[in-house]
Structure 1
Amino acid sequence: MAVTILRRKALRNQTRSTNRLKKIKDLMRKPEVRNVDVEAIKAEFAEMKKQREAEEKKAAKPVESKKAEAAESKKDETKPVESKKSEAAEEKKAEPKIEEETKVEAKATEEPKADKKTEETKEEAAKK
Structure 2
Amino acid sequence: MRIRPIDLVDVLVYLVVLGVFIQLFPDVISETFLLALLTAILLKVVLEVVLWAKKKIVAGIRSADTRRVRIVGAVTLLLVLPGSKFMVLGLVDLAFGDAVRLGGFFQVTALIIVLMLARAGMRWLFRRTDKSASA
Q: TM-score, normalised by structure 1?
A: 0.26
Q: Larger relative contact order (C-alpha < 8 A, sep ≥ 6)?
A: 2
**Structure exhibiting the larger radius of gyration computed from Cα positions:** 1
Q: TM-score, normalised by structure 2?
A: 0.25
